[in-house]
Amino acid sequence: MFQPNKKFENILSEMLDRVPDEFDKREGSIIYDALAPAAMEIESLYYALDIVMSETYAVTASRENLIKRAKEKGIKPYPAVKSIVKGQFNVKIKNGIRFQTPSGIRFEILKPINEDEFLYELLCETPGEIGNISSSNLIQIDFVESLNKAEILSIIRLGKEEEDTELFRQRYLNSFKELSFGGNKAEYKEKALAIPGVGAVKITPVWNGGGTVKITVLDTDFNRANDILLQKIQEEFDPTQDGTGVGIAPIGHIVTVTTPNELNVSVQVDIKFTNSITFENRKIEIEKVVRDYINSEKRNWSEHNIILRTVVLSSKLLNIANVEDIITLKFNNKNGNLILNENEIPKFLEVGTI
């Protein structure tokens, strides 16, 4: 933090105090005019030193210098990931042929899924979430003879933005608490999170006897991981599942990769409104608040089992315009909080009235 007593006026005052009073030190005098420029430069140096101090420590460093600091420990931000989607056509397509959506998002053919049905994997040319398109028509960039059908059917791998600065900062700071070494939980988690498409990880050691390890993951939207991602993680860690150390997992470890079950969650609420407003008038806003709350809790899944709390959701609903009071709120038609087990994540269904 810059020291207030090291501003220009204070520095100049200290310098003038060192000059005997028998000399003229008033503004405009030779001594004053000689010392003032030096005091101004010294103030600039103090500002520069303040920046150096801030950039030296990981807790206050800018992204650029935080990356340099973390690199000393072999830690880098997770890079942005390009999405992969499933596309269908009416003819066979060669790898590398390029298409774009009506909005201009470009994809190229990565490899065939089923050439007999003209199904292909397409890789988005732009890293990040921009390519997370579950359905769209495609326009050919490169000419394909006899093509009259080209569309995206679903997402195979979600695109992901480069790791956020504050998340990266926290991961670096956490590395001093949980040292990753020789196949411990911290190393398993670190390696799993580095795989494109993985958003959250839980590691369960000795889950089915000595030497067994269970890796449970969510995708980057904090939903259930699809089979393709699960297979990718399995191949990275332990493709043979016989403890021979073929993958990342150490010799003697047998790894199973899985994803949580989804628990359908509905919300029943009795709300008192003002100014003759009804539930239907505010249903869209209410659904958004509930969905956002459930999604925010899913982000904490890797740290602890999820608990959906009536008091927390009620307080959020009170912020909606014309909501005067929450009389009653239930999850799945039951009073009290909804407590999920370690192998469950919530899936929002609907909001209704009591």
SS3 category, 283:
helix
pLDDT greater than 90 at residue 143: yes
CA 182, CA 294: separation in Å to the nearest integer? Answer: 36
The pLDDT assigned to 161 comes to 92
Kindly tell me if the per-residue pLDDT of 1 is higher than 70. Answer: no
> Are 109 and 78 a contacting pair, CB within 8 Å?
no
What pTM does this model have? Answer: 0.69
Residues 6+ apart with CB under 8 A from 320: 282, 285, 286, 289
Decide if pLDDT at 118 tops 70. yes
Position 5 scores a pLDDT of: 66
Q: Which pLDDT score is estimated for 2?
A: 47
pLDDT recorded at residue 3: 58
**pLDDT tens-digit map of 91-111:** 999 999 999 999 999 999 999
- As a dihedral over the C-alpha atoms of residue 297, residue 302, residue 304, residue 307, rounded to 10 degrees, the angle is 30
**What pLDDT sits at residue 275?**
86
pLDDT recorded at residue 175: 85
**How far does CA 5 lie from the centroid of its chain?**
42
Residue 163: CA count within 13 A, CB half-sphere:
24
- Tokens representing 297? 């809790």
* CA-to-CA dists, residue 183 to 26, 74, 196, 252, 300, angstroms: 72, 17, 20, 10, 24
Q: Over the stretch 210-267, which tens digit does the pLDDT of each residue have? A: 999 999 999 999 999 999 999 999 999 999 999 999 999 999 999 999 999 999 999 9
Closest CA to 333 of 270, 261, 271: 270
pLDDT single digits (tens) 157-203: 999 899 999 999 998 998 887 766 778 998 999 899 989 899 999 99
Mean pLDDT along residues 254-283 = 96
Share of the chain above pLDDT 90, in %: 89
Q: So what's the pLDDT on residue 4?
A: 56
Q: For the chain, what percent of residues have pLDDT higher than 70?
A: 98
- Residues contacting 321, CB < 8 A, separation 6+: 282, 285
Average pLDDT, the chain: 94
Q: Is the pLDDT of residue 16 over 50?
A: yes
67-90 pLDDT, tens digit per residue, is 999 999 989 999 999 999 999 999
For residues 265 and 276, is the Cβ–Cβ distance under 8 A? Answer: no
- Sort strands 344-353 and 119-124 into parallel, antiparallel or unpaired: unpaired
What is the rounded average pLDDT of the residues 151-155? 96
Half-sphere exposure of 136 (CA within 13 A, CB side): 19
Query: Mind listing the pLDDT tens digit for each residue in 299-326?
Result: 999 989 999 999 999 999 999 999 999 9
Contact 246, 253 (CB under 8 A): no
CB neighbours of 261 closer than 8 A, spacing ≥ 6?
224, 343, 344, 345
